[in-house]
Amino acid sequence: MTFLCGMGLAHYGSLVDASWALLFGGLALVLLRRKNVWTLLAVMLFGLSLGWWRGSLYMQHLADYQNYFGHKITIVATAGEDATYDSHKQLTFDTHNVVIQETGQTLTGKIGVSGFGAPAVFAGDRVQVSGRLYPGRGSYQAKISFAAIDIVQPGHQLVPELRRRFVAGMQSALPEPLASFGMGLLIGQRANLPDEVYQSLLMVGLVHIIAVSGYNLTIILRASKGLLSKYSRRLSLLLAFALICVFLLFAGASASIVRAAIVSILSLLAAYYGRSVKPLVLIILAASITAWANPYYVWTDVSWYLSFLAFFGVMIVAPMMLVRMPKQWQSSLVLTVALESLCAELMTLPYILHIFGQMSFVGLVANVLVVALVPLAMLLCLVAGLAGMLVPAVAGWLTWPAVLLLTYMLDIANILSHIPHIFMQGLKFSLAELLLVYSLLSLVVWSLWRKLSRTQLQVVEEQAIGSLPKQG
């Protein structure tokens, strides 16, 4: 936790010298066996100085952007995703491995690009982009709009090509907007989803099911566990790792799915070696790993905070509440889904109100009616996409179950979104109100945790690991 605090402090002031981290790290090693307050203090100072040092180094790299903001430049970069069209009819995509053509300087991080020129841009293409550079938002360090785009070198990568063929198969097998909705469920691709459908999902609190996240990965890992865990734990572990890698390749290495993959890998390794893992430790460790890879998450990425708040709600708060209920209730799928959705919303809502100032009053109902059907919908969408890709002549006969289920899910969102006053805006929390609410929530959670017996704590930890990595 102190590592994350140090990284946050680096955004406001530099501590470039690594000697402080080495000093406190050595002191922590010397005092490690004593396990007293001085050991704890040394470990905390080591984490603080290490995070501050790492963040300071990253800030130095980001300072290179200041020389180019507001100027027209030409960059050569690699497209990180297939381009889509935005509201201004521009091709929009993100880039990495950025090189300034005029100076040959390499820039750290991602640049968002929107512009014209090339008829299409696919993931892995090396592109030349000319335009005016401006500061970015979220996980983007900068952006270029209304740019001139040219393809320098096509990517010709196998996985993106297979993904594009699968998308084409899905679009030929299912009508719109079901095809776009199905791709959102499978791999989080929602660029082609009509605005009115997206708005309905937003108003009823179901946007998370079409965002590539830990929920998709949970379903895949549970399937692998069911297939091989009875025969070989090692084969089950290898299959799970292979599925994680394949899913990352097809879904793209977005921040949310990388976070979920890290949490999944840590929990799988702990379970394989028979180690018990505290859910809170797992969350903090995953947050630290992702923050080390990209300190920008800590400074400006809203989705990073939302995902870990949701992790906390699903992995810690929900199991604590579930274990207090009668045993016959604990096996109820509907109750579990409702409780996990409620706890995730409880933990993320104050931050959403602080950033966006909006909330849905039917989110719990919508999640209970829809979320439990997501695994089946993913399977049927996979069948539909493969049918359209491999046997398009008979795809219509194989896709009608997907049509029925996807239509039901969208109809639920549409019906609930038309209820008056279920989506409120303008409810913005101040920073002081945000801190006060989370302080009260932390106090309540800590009080509930202290009142659990040792047996209940073990059950809570088992349920927490079983829920990984939902809501990532």
The full DSSP string for 384-406 is: HHHHHHH-GGGHHHHSHHHHHHH
Q: Does residue 466 surpass a pLDDT of 60?
A: no
Q: Is 154 helix (H, G, I), strand (E, B) or coil?
A: coil
Highest mean pLDDT among 212-216, 264-268, 273-277: 264-268
Angle at 288 between CA 285 and CA 289, to 5 degrees: 85
Tokens of 167: 């998308």
Tokens of 134: 């401006």
Average pLDDT, the chain: 81
Strands 91-100 and 106-107: antiparallel
Which tops the pLDDT comparison, 415 or 29? Answer: 415
AA identity, residue 12: Y
Displacement of CA 102 from its chain's centroid (Å)? 35
Q: Does residue 83 surpass a pLDDT of 90?
A: no
DSSP state of 105: -
Task: Give the closest residue to 126 by CA, choosing from 89, 99, 161.
Answer: 99
Tokens of 306: 């939302």
Give the model's confidence band at 411: pLDDT under 50 very low, under 70 low, under 90 confident, else very high.
Answer: very high
- Interval 71-80 mean pLDDT: 90
pLDDT value for 225: 64
pLDDT value for 194: 85
Percentage of the chain beyond pLDDT 70 is 86
Q: Does residue 218 surpass a pLDDT of 80?
A: no
Cis peptide before 469 (omega within 30 of 0): yes
CA–CA gap between residue 403 and residue 396 (Å, rounded): 10
Tokens of 114: 């929107």
Strands 84-85 and 106-107: unpaired
Q: Does residue 372 surpass a pLDDT of 70?
A: yes
- Interval 333-362 mean pLDDT: 82
Q: What is the pTM of this model?
A: 0.78
pLDDT value for 121: 86
Over residues 108-129, the pLDDT tens digits come to 888 999 999 888 888 888 999 9
Tokens of 2: 């102190």
Q: Does residue 227 surpass a pLDDT of 70?
A: no
Give the model's confidence band at 229: pLDDT under 50 very low, under 70 low, under 90 confident, else very high.
Answer: low
Give the model's confidence band at 467: pLDDT under 50 very low, under 70 low, under 90 confident, else very high.
Answer: low
AA identity, residue 223: A
Percentage of the chain beyond pLDDT 90 is 13
Q: Does residue 36 surpass a pLDDT of 90?
A: no
- Interval 462-467 mean pLDDT: 59
DSSP letters along 412-470, please?
HHHHHHTSTT-EEE--PPPHHHHHHHHHHHHHHHHHHHHTS-HHHHHHHHHHHHHTTTT
Give the model's confidence band at 72: pLDDT under 50 very low, under 70 low, under 90 confident, else very high.
Answer: very high
Which tops the pLDDT comparison, 252 or 437? Answer: 437
pLDDT value for 77: 92
Q: Which of 33-37, 164-168, 211-215 has the lowest mean pLDDT?
A: 211-215
Backbone dihedral region for residue 188 (phi beyond 0: left; psi -120 to 50: alpha; all else: beta): left
pLDDT value for 133: 92
Q: Which of 38-47, 88-97, 240-249, 270-279 has the lowest mean pLDDT?
A: 270-279
CA–CA gap between residue 355 and residue 273 (Å, rounded): 41
Tell me the C-alpha to C-alpha distance, in Å, between residue 353 and each of 19, 101, 186, 346: 41, 42, 28, 11
Tokens of 57: 């180094």
pLDDT value for 279: 77
* Termini Cα distance of the chain: 19
CA–CA gap between residue 399 and residue 364 (Å, rounded): 29
CA–CA gap between residue 162 and residue 294 (Å, rounded): 29
- Interval 246-264 mean pLDDT: 70
Q: Which of 48-52, 335-339, 340-344 has the lowest mean pLDDT?
A: 335-339
